[in-house]
Amino acid sequence: MHRLPTGSLGFGVGLRTVHYQHLLQQRPPVDWFEILSENYLDSGGRPRHVLRELAATYPLVMHGVSLSIGSTDPLDFEYLSRLKTLAREINARWISDHLCWTGVAGRNTHDLLPLPMTDAVVRHVVSRVRQVQDFLEQPLVLENPSSYLTFRQSQMPEWEFVSRVVTEADCGLLLDVNNVYVAAVNHEFDPVEYLDRIPADRVVQYHLAGHTDCGTHLIDTHDGRVIDPVWRLYAHAVARTGPRSTLLEWDAQIPDFATVHAEVLQARDWLANPVSTPPKHTPARAVSPSPLRSMTVPHPLCRETAGVEK
């Protein structure tokens, strides 16, 4: 058994190269940083130097996109070894990745693909998470991804699938509130029910971000400010879980550091003075069948070959 991180690191931001110089020169009063693991696994020189410098001052958390925990390919223990080495080097508070798959048969789609939500997939993912945790010698923290498609084979709502995985695998949950909102709009479910059904004691961290409204669907682009409905959902979630480490993701059209930091600090105001109530439902929207449908292939654990729907 691996003990989950407890308490809160406060309000952090994602470490991005465009802010390196500012951070090294100004050492702003940021609570903590989250790094993209893959950006530092094989890099030396300046990126690794900056990372070591900041690790001496700020708490750091690692967040990856390559674990592919839901794939049927064998786990990549070479990749896990590099994760483990980096985590020890920078004293990472925890390691997280996404509850998804990114490829199969040795091919990487470079996308966070949705999983069919079935009993078989729960068992499959739980087994792999346990192996990863034993190898890393610390708990893994999994994030609920945004999604644009579902599988006909799915047997349960997403909140139940996520809850079962993190509970049965005895791992942590990185609860991305923006992803909940994006998926709720795209798939027409109630985001409040989702948050109310998640096991509060499994939540280690929160993510907040902006997204793009395409009219027929939302896309998790991380290229702008957090919208008010997502802030309200965040305040509602924290009322259940208590304070948890909260991070703002801003990965495209990145403004100056002060703007990014000010955005995450709004979380304190929303928690102190939540405005109105969280949205009880989201507007019904039809997800465009193209080009989104063509981007996803059926999961290998699904027996049917045409397993993707809206």
Structure confidence by residue, pLDDT tens digits, 107-130: 777 789 999 999 999 999 999 999
pLDDT of 163 above 80: yes
Find all residues with CB under 8 Å of 233, minimum gap 6, and list them. Answer: 177, 180, 181, 191, 192, 195, 278, 279
pLDDT of 101 above 50: yes
pLDDT of 33 above 90: yes
Distance CA(102)–CA(112), nearest Å, equals: 5
More confident residue, 222 or 301: 222
More confident residue, 114 or 280: 114
pLDDT at 304: 38
- Copy the structure tokens of residue 37: 């693991």
Domains present along the chain, CATH in parentheses: 11-302 (3.20.20.150)
pTM (global) more than 0.85: yes
pLDDT of 285 above 90: no
Average pLDDT for the chain: 89
pLDDT of 187 above 80: yes
Q: Count CB neighbours of 88 within 10 A.
A: 11
Q: How far is CA 75 from each of CA 83, 103, 124, 207, 297, rounded to the nearest angstrom?
A: 13, 12, 12, 26, 20
Distance CA(40)–CA(222), nearest Å, equals: 21
Distance CA(283)–CA(287), nearest Å, equals: 12
Distance CA(43)–CA(188), nearest Å, equals: 42
pLDDT at 278: 63
pLDDT at 301: 60
Distance CA(45)–CA(65), nearest Å, equals: 22
Percent of the chain with pLDDT over 90: 76
pLDDT at 130: 98
Strands 245-249 and 308-309: unpaired
pLDDT of 84 above 70: yes
pLDDT of 57 above 60: yes
More confident residue, 90 or 305: 90
pLDDT at 107: 77
pLDDT at 273: 80
Percent of the chain with pLDDT over 70: 88
Q: Taking residues 47-57, what's their average pLDDT?
A: 94
Say if residues 302 and 116 touch (Cβ distance below 8 Å): yes
pLDDT of 2 above 70: yes
**Maximum C-alpha span of the chain:** 56
Tens digit of pLDDT for each residue in 249-279?
A: 999 999 999 999 999 999 998 998 876 556 6
- Going by C-alpha positions, the residue among 309, 276, 37 that lies closest to residue 149 is 309
Q: Taking residues 86-104, what's their average pLDDT?
A: 95
Q: Taking residues 38-50, what's their average pLDDT?
A: 87
